Amino acid sequence: MFIITVVSDTIVLPPDEFEPGKHISHVRRRIQEKYVDRVIPDVGLVVALYDIIRITDAYIHPADFHHQKGGAFCKVAFRLCVFRPMVGETIVGVVDRSTATGLYVKLGSWFKDVHIPYADLKDPCLYDEQTKLWIWQYKREDATDSFFYRPGAEICFSVKAIVFNQRQEAKPGLAQVVAEKDSKGPSAPLPPMQVLGSVAGDDTTPLLPGSAEFIPDTKPEEILPIYTSLTSAFRTDRTKSLEWRLGQLDALERMIRENGPLFKQAMLEDMHVSPLDSDVMQVSLALSDIELFKANLESWMKPETVSSNLLTFPGKSELLSEPLGVVVVYGAWNYNFLLTLQPVIGAIGAGNCVLIKPGDYAVRSTQAMMQLIPRYMDQDCIRVVSGGPELSDAILEHEWQKIFFTGSPNVGRIIYEKAAKFLTPCTLELGGKSPCIVDGTADLTVTARRLVWGALASAGQTCVRPDYVLVHESIGDRLVQMVKSTVKEFYGRILKNLRGVINQRNFDRVTGLFDGSEDLMVLGGPKTMDRDTCSSNSPLSPFCVASYVPPTIINFRTDKQRFAAAKVMQMEIFGPVIPVCYYNDFSECVDFIRSRPSPLASYLFSSDPTMKETFKHSIHSGSQAINDTMVQLSVEDLPFGGTGASGFGSYHGKYSFECFSHKKAVLSRPTILDVPSTLSSVHSRRWKVLTRGPQRQALSRVGKVVQVDDHREDRGLRRITLGVLAEEEYREVRPAVSTGGAASYGPDLLKHHHRLLSDSY
């Protein structure tokens, strides 16, 4: 890309630069002013002065009036660093703009004259007149995907030709023809140097903004060396220190903040969500979790002291949170950024080595993590891989200390079954059909808005979305009408808010759920999509046309039998569809929900305090929210997790730390007392006496008092033997003993216990 070229030239120094010892620096400055950032014809763009080879003696022309009467003419030989890429060389640049003739690419801020003609773009590639963007449509597995060559996106191209244009004598070559087509007129100036590129070859691939390369999927045979490396790293204990954990959390935070636009762009192209939605629902939540860990990690790592008993007195009992080891985190494509990195935050905070596998379908956000995590994180302890089912099979062939999976129940069962071979503990965050109950006292305006937001966020592709609605028959028709109005308010007039499902496979699955219920659709449905309107107005038009499912309401009214048997009620919808059924008595809702697998969440809209309490105690689900939907996930002090078919285990906030930690019980005792041998079989009679009803209670209570007050500088407490107070010490300690403690048994009982054991010492 860069070459060194030798140049000989005459440099003129004016008389005021004849300073002894400084003339070389003046010559250097004059060379830089004359050559740097300029194109030498047939050589290239000068980037910098490399060095000066020699300077001959200067001479002065007697008739030189042009250089202030006596300028010194120095013959100088020097070397310049020149940008001159070789034909066939591969370069990474940034898309500057798109036109109908192709792409214009810039290299940093110093060279902006790279042109990739449309004939040299990936095939098939289309130009969208509305967005003014080139779009590469490529196939991945069973779906056709689209990559937008957006301004700011990095692109890997190969050099096809270098064209030098001498402005006065420019020859009409390819570069000139292209430039004239792009310009406002045929006389528009041509750049002095232009690089013609191509991305049509197999060795060039469009990149995400800020990336260095398009990383292919991890091969199954690569898992074994990765597993071995992570295991070896964990055995060094480097991940257990507070410094390492905080350092990695800082690195992760820096990665997110420095590459925020990259991640938001990736989420836009993966899930068709706006940068604002990505920021609110994913990026900000991950950053909040990191800040929580950094503020509390030191205290969470401290051992937790618990009370001991008489047998272990005067020992100390504590719980020590230690890392599990090498863990696997499976992300999910619907919120790939958050659902991958949030458990990773917990795993790192708990001191584990981590293998990260983001969701399969979210190609761009997975690529972003594949490219950025190695740049910021400790690669000895944190690795990221990508791939399909074959890669997962290879991962599950090894003995991990924890598997954290977010995804469908079907895949969760497969992972749990394979993990059982090694008795590997799992946390499974699965899905389910989360019910939403609306009783007759609900505020319908608020209910409709919060219900629509929760059900249709991210095109309904959220695991805790309200999956169906049970509404009291007295307000059913009114609620449905208000929901329809709210959908039109949110989505009907603002086409930029339209969202498509992730790919063609899920589009077919969601629209297939309409079968048998077409006559009950009061909004949306498969035949209501105005594709021409979407294509001409939405900045996401290619996605809309390919995978848009309109917000759909299916109203079963009071036909409970048809509602229960409908195809849309047989699986988690994971799309923008809202089935509705009316109920007469709350017990009908309870019976219906209990007859189905436990959901990940359940929701109630009501103003009745009694109904709220009944709901909390009668509906079994992973989490609940009253008079709202999904927002319980944003509360860092609430655990998030399922129950039954919706999964098991929980995380978020401190619960993430506990999810990836083992609570190790630790007992530490001094050697001054030897209680087990004192109460061994040779003293069985004394042990039986001590463990009778009232005596046992007395001893256990004394032991607890001692455990609490042992730190006091009280002479009596420091002379306790086996948690039993000597008769002469009892009255001295008694004021410090709470009511109901050892004092309630009186000195006679304690004196008796003291006599039983006195001959043992």
Q: Are 84 and 43 a contacting pair, CB within 8 Å?
A: yes
- Residue indicated by tokens 């996401």: 540
Supply 4's token pair: 């060194």
Q: Are 737 and 705 a contacting pair, CB within 8 Å?
A: yes
Write 511-518 long-range contacts (CB < 8 A, 24+): 511/549, 512/567, 513/567, 513/568, 513/571, 513/573, 513/575, 513/577, 514/552, 514/554, 514/567, 514/568, 514/577, 515/567, 516/566, 516/567, 517/554, 517/556, 517/566, 517/567, 517/568, 517/579
Q: Are 387 and 218 a contacting pair, CB within 8 Å?
A: yes
Find all residues with CB under 8 Å of 92, minimum gap 6, and list them.
154, 155, 156, 207, 212, 213
Cross-strand partners of 198: 158
Supply 750's token pair: 């304690």
Q: Are 252 and 377 a contacting pair, CB within 8 Å?
A: yes
Q: How far apart are CA 157 and CA 159, in angstroms?
A: 7
Backbone angles phi, psi at 106, to 5 degrees: -120, 155
Distance from the Cα of residue 523 to its chain's centroid: 34
Length of the chain: 761
Q: Are 308 and 364 a contacting pair, CB within 8 Å?
A: no
Helix (H, G, I), strand (E, B) or coil at 383: strand
Q: Which among 429, 572, 658, 729 is annotated as catalytic?
A: 429
Q: How far apart are CA 303 and CA 15, in angstroms?
A: 78
- Residue indicated by tokens 């990559």: 147
- CA quadruple 224, 227, 231, 232: dihedral, nearest 10: 60
Q: How far apart are CA 638 and CA 650, in angstroms?
A: 9
Q: What are the helix (H) ranges across 457-512?
A: 476-487, 504-512
Kindly state the DSSP code that residue 206 receives in the 8-state scheme.
B
Q: How far apart are CA 495 and CA 536, in angstroms?
A: 10
Query: Strand ranges (DSSP E) for 69-184?
Result: 72-83, 90-99, 102-107, 111-117, 125-128, 133-140, 143-148, 154-164
Query: Angle formed by the axes of helices 336-349 and 242-258, to 10°?
Result: 160
Query: Strand ranges (DSSP E) for 413-465?
Result: 426-429, 434-438
Q: Residue 307 carries which side chain, given as an amino acid letter?
A: S
Q: Which string of DSSP letters, residue by residue, matches 30-51?
A: HHHHHHTT-EETTTEEEEEEEE
Q: How far apart are CA 135 and CA 425, in angstroms?
A: 44
Kindly state the DSSP code that residue 192 receives in the 8-state scheme.
S
Ramachandran region, residue 630 (left: φ > 0; alpha: ψ -120 to 50; beta: rest) = left
For residue 45, what are the CA distances in angstroms to 5, 157, 158?
11, 19, 18
429 belongs to the catalytic site: yes
Supply 428's token pair: 């499974």
Q: Any idea which residues carry the catalytic annotation?
A: 429
